[in-house]
Structures are given as structure tokens and as C-alpha cells.
Structure 1
Amino acid sequence: MTASAAKPASRMGVALPLLTFLSAALAILALSQPPQLPPTLAFVFKPLTTVLILLYAWPRGLQQPRLARWLRAGLLCSLVGDVALLWPEQGFLPGLVSFLAAHVCYIVGFCTRKRLGAVRWPFLMFGVIAAMVLGRLWSSIPAALQAPVVVYVVCLATMAAQAWAWWRGSVGQSDEPLARWAAWGGTLFVLSDAMLAINKFAGPLDMASFWVLASYWPAQWCIASSLGRARA
């Protein structure tokens, strides 16, 4: 890469995180209760934030093509879910299905780096967390949603556990730093969805939109960061 080509790439490397942060902040302000910005702005900035994370992920992972394909597919499914959940009631089930598909993509992607369950204790850890959250919410979940919610929670916990299995199974290897990003992303995703579920089924949380989205987009950014940087 020439010096003249490196400068725009370097500027983009700084600008994209800043644009993503700004877009996320505007979306959170528009979705807060009471809204601090016109709520219609959420229809622009919520999907835009995920699109910016997709742009961040797209040139990465050239040395991990199978992982890159699955993680990009997961981000695209997440984008569909983001749009669906702009309508919290009518869009809840389509959003749930979209994010379920995203987690399946992430699981398959992480399995390209380490066999499913290669390290077992993360599955026990996230299984206990999932059981605790479901136990707390079960009586408040409508009967028609109980089965889809259980399937989603199992898939979410599996995604986070497999990200940790990749990390702990790669300690001392060249891909350990990338796997660590995936593990943090999976953990933040569990945190974000747990708060979303508690807010929806067990009663409103103070500043729910802030806490849910302030952990959701960093989760997606961390997962995207588990793809290696593009080389010159």
C-alpha cells in the first residue's frame, strides 16, 4: 500500500468508530423514555448504527473467510431484527426470529475456529445464567411466546458459550486476541438481551433503552472485531 492510499484508510479507521458511536448515541436519545430527540430519528439511526458495524466488519477476516461469511450474515440478520424491533409489539416475534438466525450464524462461524463444546465449562456457566433469567421471567411470559423464547435463550447462551470456548481453547495461539473479542461480544449480547427481556416481561427498567443498546452495539462491534484486520 502506498503512503497516499494509507492516509485515507487511516482516516477511515478513525472516522468509522466515531460515526458509529455518534449514530448509536442519537438512536438511544430518540428511543429513550421520555425521548430526548424526535422518536422518528430512531428509524434512521438505529439501523444506521448496525450498517456502520457491518461496514467495519466487511473488509476484515480475509485470513478467516468462512468465519467472515458467517459473522457478516449474522450482522445482516441483526439488521433485520433491529428494524423489526422499531415496532416493539408487532415486531417482537419477527425480531426474535431474526436475532435467532443471527445467533445461529455466529455459532456456526465460531465453530469454524473451534469444535462446538471444545471447552465445556462456558456452556455450564451460560446455561446457569440462562436458567436463572428464564426462571425469573417465566410466569410473566405469555404462553404463546414461551416456546420461541426458550429456543432463543438456548441459542443465545450457546453462542456466548462457544465464543468463550474459542477463546479459552486458543490461549497462547495466534488467534487468541481475536477469540477474546468474540467472548466479550457474546457476554455483552447476553447482558443486553437479559435486560431487554426483563424490561419487556417483568416490568419497566429505568433507562432501559440506554442499558440495552449501550451493551448491544458494543457486543456487535466486539464480534466484528473477532475478524482479523485486512492486511495491506
Structure 2
Amino acid sequence: MWLIIIASAFIHIISIKTGPKWLFFATKPIPIIAMIGMLLLSPAIQLPYAKWIISGLSLSLIGDLVMMYPKDSFTQGIKFFCAALTCYALGFIQIAAWHFTPWLPFAVLGFGICAYLFFKPDLGKEKWLVASYIIVLMTMLWMSMEYYAAGKTQSSAFAVLGSVIFTMSGIVIAFERFGSTSTFSRQVAMATYYSAQLLIAMSVSAIVIR
């Protein structure tokens, strides 16, 4: 599974610029499918946490497939990713036994507000959609940090690192869609996206080797 995940992600990232288009579309969902398969074969599959993460990966896969269609796909895709991030957040906070750090939500949500205000002038009709996504994304990041604060394990480290990189991926995508783009912005966005998803998936596998 590891080879499939890494190889297909690498091929997809390369195909963004070099093509052909069929290779770009064919390879985009493969890494997430392989991650789901990896978790289904994991000894941790019976844990509620594993089920939340698999649900999140499955919703992310649907979001990826929806966004492969160019016409009006962004709005629908974002809705699936919001649902995926909600699954991750619920998984993190449940396994953290609802741990709460009083100052943490203010710091994380404050960062989200700053990001929203930065992009707001260019959002147009999508400002409410983006605001909703940022709230869900920041909540997921907050819950992963609570998981890490509840117990600094290998699993929680993978979870929080994956969530941080997922946030970075979202920022890159926002710059590409609403700000100025660079030559390799799409490659960076997909590289960080796959890395984040893999780390979150690894947080499940790591539970059995605590």
C-alpha cells in the first residue's frame, strides 16, 4: 500500500504540468483509495477512531472526484471536504476524551479569522462558503491539538502534524483560487494535501504500537 500511495501521488503531482490529462485524472483518487485500503487492513480497524478517519478519507475521496468536473464543482467539493474534516475533528476529540485547553480555541480560531480577512476582498459570492470551510478546518486543527495535549503519543503527533499540513494546503489552494498563483502552486497544494491525509491515516496505524 505504501508504494501505491507514494507512487500514485508522485505521478499525479508530475502530471499536473506534464500531462497527459487522462493520467492526471486517473491518478488523482488512487492515493486516498490506497489509504482507505491500508486502514481497512489495519489491526486498529475496530476502533471508533479508525472509523471516523476512514469516513473522513471516504468523504475526501468523493470531494476529489467531484472537483474533477470543471463546471460548478468547487462549491460541491468544499461541502464534502467540510464533512470530511468534521469526521476528523470528531475522531480527534473523542480519542482525546474531550480534553480541553482554555486558550487553544482562541489562538486557532483567531488565526482562521485573520486568514479569512486576508482573502475576503477576493472571495465575492463564495465568502460564506469559504468562511464555513475555515471554521471547520480550524475546528479540526484545534481538535487535533487537543488530542496531542491529552497525551503526546505517536498517533497524536501524526494527527496534529497532518492537521497543520492540511491547513497549509488550504492556504495554498486559497492563494491559487483567490490570490496570485505561482508556477508550482498546484503541485505544492497536492503534495501538502496527500502528505496531510497520509499522516492522519498513519495516526490510526500508530495507535496499535503506542
State the Cα distance separating 1:113 from its structure 2 match: 1.1
Aligned length: 208
* Alignment correspondent of 1:5: none
Q: Residues 127, 78 of structure 1: CA spacing in aligned structure 2 closer, same or farther, 3 A cutoff?
A: same
Residue 41 of structure 2 aligns to a residue whose secondary structure is coil
Q: TM-score, normalised by structure 1?
A: 0.83
What residue ranges of structure 1 are gaps of 5+ in the alignment? 1-15
Shift of 1:120: 3.6
- Tell me the secondary structure at the aligned position of residue 225 of structure 1: helix
1:163 is aligned, of 133, 137, 144, to: 144
- The aligned amino acid for 2:107 is M
In structure 1, give the amino acid aligned to 2:9: A
Identical amino acids, percent of aligned pairs: 23
1:1-232 matches, within 5 Å, as 16-31=1-16, 35-60=17-42, 62=44, 65-88=47-70, 90-116=72-98, 118-143=100-125, 145-171=126-152, 176-228=153-205
Report which of the two structures shows the higher radius of gyration computed on alpha carbons.
1
User: After the TM superposition, which segments of 4 or more aligned residues of structure 1 sit over 6 Å from their partners?
Assistant: none
Q: 1:140-170: CA deviations, max 9, x gaps?
A: 0022x11111111000011011101101111
CA RMSD of aligned residues (A): 1.9
| Cα distance between partner residues in 2 of 1:36 and 1:120 | 48
Task: Confirm or deny: 8 A CA contact 2:86 2:140 kept in the other structure.
Answer: yes
Output the TM-score relative to the length of structure 2.
Answer: 0.91
Letter in 2 for 1:30: S
Matches of 2:34 and 2:150 in 1, distance apart?
Answer: 30
SS in 2 for 1:226: helix
Q: Which has the higher helix share?
A: 2
